[in-house]
Structure 1
Amino acid sequence: MSSIGSQVRKASPSVDPIVTDYAVGYFNHLSNVIHDAVQSKQVDLEHEIQFVTDLLVNAGAIKDKIDAVSKELLNNLSLELKENQAKLELTGDTSKRLLDINVLQSHNSKANINASLSMLGVNGDIEHAGRNMETRVDLKKLAKAEQKIAKKVAKRNNKFVKYEASKLIDERKESDYDSFFLEINPLDFGSGAGKSKDIKLDTFDLYVGDGQRILSDAQLTLSFGRRYGLVGQNGIGKSTLLRALSRRELNVPKHISILHVEQELRGDETKALQSVLDADVWRKQLLTEEVKINERIQEIEKLSDEFDEESLETRKLENEREDLEKHLEQISEKLVDMESDKAEARAASILFGLGFSAEAQQQPTNSFSGGWRMRLSLARALFCQPDLLLLDEPTNMLDVPSIAYLSEYLKTYPSTVLTVSHDRAFLNEVATDIIYQHNERLDYYRGQDFDSFYATKEERRKNAQREYENQMAYRKHLQEFIDKYRYNAAKSQEAQSRIKKLEKLPVLEPPEEERSISFKFPECEKLSPPIIQLQDVSFGYNEKNLLLADVNLDVQMDSRIALVGANGCGKTTLLKVMMEQLRPLKGYVSQNGRLRIGYFTQHHVDSLDLTKSAVDWMSTAYPGKTDEEYRRHLGAFGITGSLSLQKMQLLSGGQKSRVAFAALCLNNPHILILDEPSNHLDTSGIDALVDAMKKFTGGILMVSHDISVISNVCNEIWVSENGTVKRFDGTIYDYRDYILSSADSSGVVKRH
């Protein structure tokens, strides 16, 4: 096959060598297969050779030459196949007989020996014959090679196709946390010493599973110690980029450790504090190894007493002990570097800052809800302190005190942070740089927080728009002159000159337009007070353990109230008491008899029937209007055109939230009670929501962790703490300062 290989390469001079190597290897494989008459029955030679021929042509090979090579190969292999089939009829099936040494001697390379073993029904390499071993093929290299082929084919055809990869590449099975951590972050002694921990990835493409490209010729630069906010519209691929980094699908240097907070922790009987300690697999493995080495050293000392001091066995044991003691010293140095002795105190401090009391830290992880398990995942990542910490919407599951703690913690984080977030206040506090992902590229706004980025981005867009309009005006001017004087003898030379100028101008694309989204809450008639009033209200599931005591509050038609406080302190309970879903043990709740309330929670988003369109679901859940009226109403919340008619399972998280907002407004509410309304909305969605709430003619009571949303909408802060709810004298930023001022000397936010 060496002659075929040279012919393939001669016919493919401009093709990437990795593609030609793949093709030659494929031809070699076909040649090996037809040596076995039994296996060859399963092979469609013409189909297989045509597959490789098309691959090479798509990658840039000379079609006529490749066709000639393929035809010659097909003829030769077909002839050999006929001879083997004839031999089979005489000798019968020998594939299950014992290993024939003559077969092995006829294949003098390891690759051919393995092929022969495969034909004889033996799996694995020759060294492992007789044992069931997995393939020795480097699956990572094979995956990388086939990705290159896919990109070459896609680029050649000017489209992006789903490439059918080798059957050797299976999707990675879910492994346990420890093995996956060590696979991504192998423990090496001193290998990263002195090496830069900056990350610079030049000109890479990134695809999602269905072949859709989300980044093209992108560059990713992360300077060690900086904190980057990754922003962009919902569905643009931010989480996909984080996932590719976390699994080293992008070429991050091996000596840089990575940890990604992506999923909630799987619950088991492990206590919360221990689960955080176990998250540092390096420390856990080093401590385990330290114990084993010490046990072995003790064994060696006992064994040494049984042999003569000058014996060979004694010298062997002494050499082993020296090696073990040297490795033990390395382990001790590593543990000292990572301050292993302070680990438990640090883990407890992080957990307490994220809302876990001392009692909760001793509870098993399977006793916590999904939101609290997400906090545990975040605590584990902060405890590990990787060189690159990847956070995906870390504030979604946190209350204001926990966000305040996390912001302060990250400000002093010694390594690199890359976080996806739509929480402006959080990004303003934490981010030193912003990366804007859009239009298959990454734009950098160095040294800017979110507000600075937003202003700079808008200025860039205006400049680009002006430049585009100036260029189009210049082109129009040239074209008008050409059209006017093209056939004028006196001006024809000048017209030809302008034609050449026009042809040399680069192709222009208009600046990317931001998708504008709008919300519109319906007008409501005025009501006379009291609208909602709580007088000396106490609530609990028994009188000895009250969740709320002596609450005196009221909501009016012009109210803009934010209800804040730590998770679990009774905020949602208070909302249910106000809406008379729960009856207080003491006190009174009074409402205007004509009052209509619009109540939004994440539960309402989760309860949507995703198999239906928004219009169909509304007509079933809230009957009484025509489809056109439902579509018009949905349009007021940015669900326009075909979005209202397609199944809701195809909508993004932000779009589903907008459907839920539209539904709660169908009864023209006087008061909006909103529980975490900004979750899952991107920046433009949050802007639209804030603008709609400002214009709403009724009252608003909102539970939210998003400080920027509260600051823009609310003029009144209610704080739930110490078993009651009281008005806070100040803004949301004053409340944040109050939380931080209550932090103890270790930096932990005290829970009230």
Structure 2
Amino acid sequence: MIQVTNLSKHFGVQTLFENISFTLAHGNKIGFVGRNGSGKSTLFKILLGEEEADSGEILIPKNYTIGTLRQHILFTHKTVREECASALHGDEAFDLYKIEKMLFGLGFSQEDLDKDPMNFSGGYQIRLNLVKLLATNPSLLLLDEPTNYLDIISMRWLQTFLKEFKGEIILITHDRDFMDAVTTHTMGLRRKSLMIVEGNSSKYYAKLEEDDERYLKTKANLDKKRAELEDFVTRQKARASKAVMAQSKAKQLEKMGEMDDLEVESSLHFSFNYKKTPAKIMLEAKDVSFGYDPAHPLFQSLSFKLEKGKCLAIIGKNGKGKSTLLNVIAGELPLQQGTLSFHPETTFAHFGQTNIQRLNLKNSIIDEIYEVDPLLGITRVRAICGGMMFSGKMAEKEISILSGGERSRVMLGKIIATPANLLFLDEPTNHLDMYSIDSLCEAIKNFKGSTILVTHSEMMLRELADALIIFHHDKAEFFDGNYDAFLEKIGWEEEIDVAPKKVVSNDYNENKKLRAKLIQERSSKLSPLKKQIDQCEAKIMKLEEDIKVKNDALIACSSGNDIGELGRLSKEIKSAEETLEKLYEQFETLHVNHDTLFDTYEIQLKNI
């Protein structure tokens, strides 16, 4: 268990967080959210002892180890196998199987194990650091964007590994689905404060919204009461007969205090600039092929159609040709074989890493947006800059001093300024936080044109993709269906190869009896849980209705002078909300137990 109490951190006049406290209990896996720059990575450094807090206390048990994923590269062994095995200690010092299993899960092949670690790309070198971290089996894993350099298959492997990890985890990631699949709690830094809830990020954000709504209602009632008192004092203080009462009201005003306005946080918000087109089919590809080495093409004989309003996602492991295919379709690379037919009125807007590198470092952000269309007025350009979180003077910054994430947002701004009906988006979520990714998904959904998207985010695939091009089985193939349909009908070959084989019995009657017994056993165990779930749900609904009635009474009462009644109602509401929170936790635990038990029997039934 780690106990953090009243921790504060400032940089000059900027306050990152103040008097934050939380407890990390055994088995807790916490998703850590907050805007970019809110202080998440700084808190990690403080927990690791790499940076000092201005005040507060951190209690860490003796022999409790903390491991974190390092971004810097320092390799001292000649092969991948030896480098990763160097992280093993004690009884596991020679457990090479454990190391190899992790390496294969993160995309390394058998041949890679004897290669020099320095011969791999930066992304794969970070994966080696991840293997070395996981091999040490620390008490607590601090993971800051561990999926940044992982492809979709490696992400799925890591997700399973972290779910089964026996220690504690604090995880920062922009991938909401990945986080929610792994974590038991969600913790967030917001307005210099910290809040932690049991459950996923959706529950956390719902609680934030509820708290803000309650705060604003209370503030509105308080402001109304203050205005009434101020008006009374102003009107009556000059009248002798009302002077005493006015003085009393003035003292009441002094005691009331004031509630601050809620700090508004910047959000990336935008919509793509759709150019009208009569096309029903935006693009048709026939027998498209490409390869840097003619003997080993990245893809060949690929054919598909893209309808207006549809999103086509290109998915697969790193290095297989996803970005290359997107660049061929976008005309960034020459087509070697086959045909690409576009409607005459099709207009592109292309977001990719090569495009970001073409930003003029001497230009300001405003200049870069203007270059897209010189006819854009300053109001429109400023609006686009603001939507990309570059308001006021920030929009006049030179590209050369911007971070990688800021340059990505500039590129998105240029895409927004471009009238288009076909979007090419290559990993557009890199450097974006959860809030910005939600805005991006919403903008793509609302875009009336078509989109071709390269992504490793399963959340984006599930939300956006109407069809897929999958790089697997050493080829690229078109799949006319969404991502879940692909997983159900085909699935990733790497996962199928290691999937447990079903147990097949030749005795039909014995299997039938066994199935009947299992179904009866499952029913007898699930029925009590279902009853408890229904009872808990009924209590929640009743208590929510009671809280609503009391809140309405509190609002009505706040316009009067009955301080005692206000206090009573406030205490009752607080008590009821605490009870409701416990009921929610009980409801969630019961549901998890029910679903786990159900899934256990489902697996047994499928294996018969």
TM-score under structure 1 normalisation? 0.61
**Matching of residue 340 in structure 1 with residue 93 in structure 2:** yes
Q: C-alpha separation between the residues in 2 aligned to 1:729 and 1:531?
A: 16
Q: Aligned residue for 2:83?
A: 275
Q: Aligned residue for 1:415?
A: 167
**Matching of residue 359 in structure 1 with residue 359 in structure 2:** no
Residue 716 of structure 1 and its aligned partner are, at CA, apart by 2.2
Residue pair 2:287, 2:338 contacting (<8 A) in 1 also: yes
Q: Aligned residue for 1:218?
A: 20
Q: Aligned residue for 2:48?
A: 246
**Matching of residue 554 in structure 1 with residue 305 in structure 2:** yes
Q: C-alpha separation between the residues in 2 aligned to 1:607 and 1:242?
A: 34
* C-alpha spacing 1:398/1:570, structure 2 compared with 1 (3 Å): same
* C-alpha spacing 1:530/1:255, structure 2 compared with 1 (3 Å): same
Residue 435 of structure 1 and its aligned partner are, at CA, apart by 0.9
**Matching of residue 590 in structure 1 with residue 393 in structure 2:** no
Amino acid at match of 1:699: S
* C-alpha spacing 1:724/1:388, structure 2 compared with 1 (3 Å): same
Name the SS of the counterpart of 2:107 in structure 1.
coil
Q: Aligned residue for 1:505?
A: 256
Q: C-alpha separation between the residues in 2 aligned to 1:438 and 1:470?
A: 24
* C-alpha spacing 1:396/1:223, structure 2 compared with 1 (3 Å): same
Q: Aligned residue for 2:193?
A: 441
* C-alpha spacing 1:452/1:385, structure 2 compared with 1 (3 Å): same
Name the SS of the counterpart of 2:26 in structure 1.
coil
* C-alpha spacing 1:505/1:626, structure 2 compared with 1 (3 Å): closer
Residue pair 1:548, 1:570 contacting (<8 A) in 2 also: yes
Name the SS of the counterpart of 1:720 in structure 2.
strand
Task: Note the 1:682-701 alignment, pairs <5 A.
Answer: 682-701=433-452
CA displacement 1:129-150 (0-9 Å, x = unmatched)? xxxxxxxxxxxxxxxxxxxxxx
Task: Note the 1:27-46 alignment, pairs <5 A.
Answer: none
Q: C-alpha separation between the residues in 1 aligned to 2:323 and 2:294?
A: 19
Identity of aligned residues (%): 29
* C-alpha spacing 1:576/1:211, structure 2 compared with 1 (3 Å): same
Q: C-alpha separation between the residues in 2 aligned to 1:730 and 1:593?
A: 27
Q: Aligned residue for 2:498?
A: 744
Residue 233 of structure 1 and its aligned partner are, at CA, apart by 0.8
Name the SS of the counterpart of 1:518 in structure 2.
coil
Residue 634 of structure 1 and its aligned partner are, at CA, apart by 3.4
Amino acid at match of 2:5: D
* C-alpha spacing 1:696/1:729, structure 2 compared with 1 (3 Å): closer
CA RMSD of aligned residues (A): 2.7
Name the SS of the counterpart of 1:491 in structure 2.
helix
Q: Aligned residue for 1:205?
A: 8
* C-alpha spacing 1:530/1:493, structure 2 compared with 1 (3 Å): closer
Residue 564 of structure 1 and its aligned partner are, at CA, apart by 1.3
CA displacement 1:567-591 (0-9 Å, x = unmatched)? 1222112112222443455433333
* C-alpha spacing 1:655/1:734, structure 2 compared with 1 (3 Å): same
Q: C-alpha separation between the residues in 1 aligned to 2:27 and 2:315?
A: 32
Name the SS of the counterpart of 2:241 in structure 1.
coil
Q: C-alpha separation between the residues in 2 aligned to 1:527 and 1:377?
A: 51
Q: Aligned residue for 2:284?
A: 533
* C-alpha spacing 1:636/1:504, structure 2 compared with 1 (3 Å): closer
Task: Note the 1:114-133 alignment, pairs <5 A.
Answer: none
CA displacement 1:61-99 (0-9 Å, x = unmatched)? xxxxxxxxxxxxxxxxxxxxxxxxxxxxxxxxxxxxxxx
Amino acid at match of 1:358: Q
CA displacement 1:225-266 (0-9 Å, x = unmatched)? 211111111111211111222235464535221122141434
Residue pair 1:523, 1:668 contacting (<8 A) in 2 also: yes
Amino acid at match of 2:476: V
Name the SS of the counterpart of 1:542 in structure 2.
coil
Residue pair 1:264, 1:373 contacting (<8 A) in 2 also: no
Residue pair 1:531, 1:557 contacting (<8 A) in 2 also: yes
CA displacement 1:346-399 (0-9 Å, x = unmatched)? 111111111111112322111111122222222221221211111111122222
Q: C-alpha separation between the residues in 2 aligned to 1:215 and 1:437?
A: 8
* C-alpha spacing 1:743/1:405, structure 2 compared with 1 (3 Å): farther
Task: Note the 1:154-173 alignment, pairs <5 A.
Answer: none
* C-alpha spacing 1:647/1:346, structure 2 compared with 1 (3 Å): same
Name the SS of the counterpart of 2:166 in structure 1.
coil
Residue pair 2:330, 2:350 contacting (<8 A) in 1 also: no
Q: C-alpha separation between the residues in 2 aligned to 1:414 and 1:235?
A: 30
Q: Paired residue for 2:479, among 719, 728, 731?
A: 728
Name the SS of the counterpart of 2:298 in structure 1.
strand
Gaps in structure 1 of 5+ consecutive residues: 1-197, 284-334, 748-752
Amino acid at match of 1:370: G
**Matching of residue 703 in structure 1 with residue 511 in structure 2:** no
Residue pair 2:29, 2:168 contacting (<8 A) in 1 also: yes
Q: C-alpha separation between the residues in 1 aligned to 2:81 and 2:486?
A: 29
Q: Paired residue for 1:600, among 351, 359, 380?
A: 351
Greater percentage in strand: 2
Q: Aligned residue for 2:239?
A: 488
CA displacement 1:171-224 (0-9 Å, x = unmatched)? xxxxxxxxxxxxxxxxxxxxxxxxxxx10021122234x564312122132123
Gaps in structure 2 of 5+ consecutive residues: 53-57, 502-608
Amino acid at match of 1:274: E
Residue 423 of structure 1 and its aligned partner are, at CA, apart by 1.1
Q: C-alpha separation between the residues in 2 aligned to 1:506 and 1:623?
A: 52
Residue 746 of structure 1 and its aligned partner are, at CA, apart by 9.1
Residue pair 1:532, 1:578 contacting (<8 A) in 2 also: no
Q: C-alpha separation between the residues in 2 aligned to 1:365 and 1:527?
A: 53
Q: Paired residue for 2:101, among 349, 364, 367?
A: 349
CA displacement 1:92-124 (0-9 Å, x = unmatched)? xxxxxxxxxxxxxxxxxxxxxxxxxxxxxxxxx
Residue 633 of structure 1 and its aligned partner are, at CA, apart by 4.4
Name the SS of the counterpart of 2:118 in structure 1.
helix
Residue pair 2:31, 2:180 contacting (<8 A) in 1 also: no
Q: C-alpha separation between the residues in 2 aligned to 1:410 and 1:746?
A: 20
Q: C-alpha separation between the residues in 1 aligned to 2:428 and 2:237?
A: 62
Larger radius of gyration: 1
Q: C-alpha separation between the residues in 2 aligned to 1:656 and 1:460?
A: 34
Name the SS of the counterpart of 1:220 in structure 2.
strand
Q: C-alpha separation between the residues in 2 aligned to 1:554 and 1:475?
A: 64
Amino acid at match of 1:340: A
CA displacement 1:477-515 (0-9 Å, x = unmatched)? 222222232233333333222222221224421233343
Q: C-alpha separation between the residues in 1 aligned to 2:219 and 2:497?
A: 52
Residue pair 2:273, 2:418 contacting (<8 A) in 1 also: no
Residue 403 of structure 1 and its aligned partner are, at CA, apart by 1.2
Residue 474 of structure 1 and its aligned partner are, at CA, apart by 2.1
Q: C-alpha separation between the residues in 2 aligned to 1:211 and 1:489?
A: 49
Q: C-alpha separation between the residues in 1 aligned to 2:67 and 2:479?
A: 38
Q: C-alpha separation between the residues in 1 aligned to 2:239 and 2:375?
A: 70
Q: Paired residue for 1:674, among 425, 441, 447?
A: 425
